[in-house]
């Protein structure tokens, strides 16, 4: 499989894709970036910001283009602006002025972890001031919207070519829920998989994903922690053969959760995800072949 080199767009996100034999599979990692924009101006310490970083997730899924899939990843941190939140999930307690656009703060904003975070970690404010409207609009225009548009374009191109597309929204998670999470203090599974209770992907496909990770010996939770973020809800549409599933890997399996340094488990997890990707692309290829067969 011949692959394009990593294409970095304005230092904000990257896209990697095969040159040939593409399958309609798109993997995106919206939280693995850690390049701070010049205007971040956070007052939080790095160790607090790192708790929200999906460290090395883009590397865990790096084999995707080798098997014919597209891989997209943000380079900016979710602590700056979170591409997996709805655009209207604006926290009014974070702003110095009234927000002039649609604002529908949800549960995440109420907990201080909305589109733009009020807290870097429990009890640790992200800023020592309130943000003005212009700087939030700039983050939306320069980072959030370009990432979302790139993902939308990749999914649309795959769907237009094949009439169906499979989207994997790739994340990590702490081994136990933190104080800003719904499952505070609770131990988490090895892998958490969500399709928003069957609304963003064919449940049969989600069951297939669960079965593949279980076959590799992982403890899997399906819709156990949450029902997925805004990306799968925005792009999953099973009746139109657009299937979006969120997959989160337990960080303790592959890195030190305090230092974010990889440990000996990293290569094992990366190899297993590579095996999963190979099986996924074969599965999709079979679905495409079956769809092309004339009806009897």
**pLDDT, tens only, 270-285:** 999 999 999 999 999 9
- Edge-first strand order for the sheet with 13-16 is 7-9, 13-16, 70-74, 25-29, 165-173, 242-250, 191-194, 220-222
Q: Is the pLDDT of residue 293 over 70?
A: no
* CATH number, domain containing residue 276: 3.40.630.40
Does the residue 139 lie in any domain? yes
Does the residue 66 lie in any domain? yes
Average pLDDT, the chain: 91
Q: Is the pLDDT of residue 262 over 80?
A: yes
Q: Is the pLDDT of residue 5 over 70?
A: no
Does the residue 171 lie in any domain? yes
For residues 92 and 27, the model is more confident at 27
pLDDT confidence tier of residue 238, bands split at 50, 70 and 90: very high
Domain count, the chain: 1
Does the residue 54 lie in any domain? yes
Does the residue 25 lie in any domain? yes
pLDDT confidence tier of residue 294, bands split at 50, 70 and 90: very low
The pTM for the full model equals 0.93
Q: Is the pLDDT of residue 197 over 70?
A: yes
Stretch 174-178: mean pLDDT, rounded? Answer: 75
Q: Is the pLDDT of residue 290 over 90?
A: no
Does the residue 19 lie in any domain? yes
Specify the pLDDT at position 296.
Answer: 34
Specify the pLDDT at position 178.
Answer: 61
Specify the pLDDT at position 93.
Answer: 87
Specify the pLDDT at position 280.
Answer: 97
Distance CA 15, CA 54 (A): 18
Does the residue 1 lie in any domain? no
Does the residue 2 lie in any domain? no
- Across 51-55, 148-152, 181-185, 244-248, least confident range: 181-185
Cα 195–Cα 201–Cα 207 angle in degrees, nearest 5: 70
pLDDT 10s digits, 113-154: 999 999 999 899 999 999 999 999 999 999 999 999 999 999
Cα 237–Cα 181–Cα 208 angle in degrees, nearest 5: 40
Stretch 28-38: mean pLDDT, rounded? Answer: 97
For residues 246 and 222, the model is more confident at 246
Specify the pLDDT at position 22.
Answer: 87
Q: In which domain, by residue range, is 202 found?
A: 7-291
Specify the pLDDT at position 177.
Answer: 64
Specify the pLDDT at position 19.
Answer: 72
pLDDT 10s digits, 72-114: 999 999 999 999 999 999 998 899 999 999 999 988 898 899 9
Share of the chain above pLDDT 70, in %: 92
Specify the pLDDT at position 181.
Answer: 58
């Amino acid at each position: 499989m011949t692959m394009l080199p990593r294409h970095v767009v304005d230092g904000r996100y990257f896209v990697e894709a095969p040159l040939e034999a593409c399958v309609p599979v798109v993997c995106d990692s919206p939280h693995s970036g850690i390049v701070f924009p010049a205007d971040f101006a956070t007052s939080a310490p790095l160790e607090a910001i790192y708790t929200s970083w999906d460290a090395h997730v883009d590397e865990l899924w790096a084999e995707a283009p080798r098997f014919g899939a597209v891989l997209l990843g943000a380079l900016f941190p979710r602590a700056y602006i979170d591409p997996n939140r709805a655009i209207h999930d604006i926290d009014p307690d974070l702003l110095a002025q009234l927000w002039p656009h649609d604002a529908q703060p949800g549960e995440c904003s109420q907990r201080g972890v909305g589109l733009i975070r009020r807290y870097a970690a429990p009890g640790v404010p992200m800023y020592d001031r309130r943000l003005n409207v212009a700087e939030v609009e700039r983050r939306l225009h320069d980072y959030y919207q370009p990432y979302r548009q790139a993902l939308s374009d990749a999914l649309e191109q795959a769907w237009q070519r094949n009439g169906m597309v499979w989207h994997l929204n790739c994340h990590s998670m702490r081994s136990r829920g933190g104080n800003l999470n719904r499952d505070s203090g609770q131990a988490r599974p090895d892998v958490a998989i969500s399709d928003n209770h069957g609304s963003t992907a064919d449940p049969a496909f989600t069951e297939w994903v669960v079965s593949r990770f279980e076959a590799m010996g992982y403890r899997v939770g399906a819709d156990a922690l949450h029902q997925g973020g805004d990306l799968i809800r925005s792009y999953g549409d099973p009746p139109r053969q657009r299937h979006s599933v969120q997959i989160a890997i337990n960080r303790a399996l592959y890195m030190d959760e305090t230092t974010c340094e990889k440990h000996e488990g990293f290569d094992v997890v990366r190899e297993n995800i590579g095996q999963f990707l190979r099986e996924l692309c074969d599965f999709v290829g079979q679905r495409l072949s079956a769809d092309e067969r004339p009806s009897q």
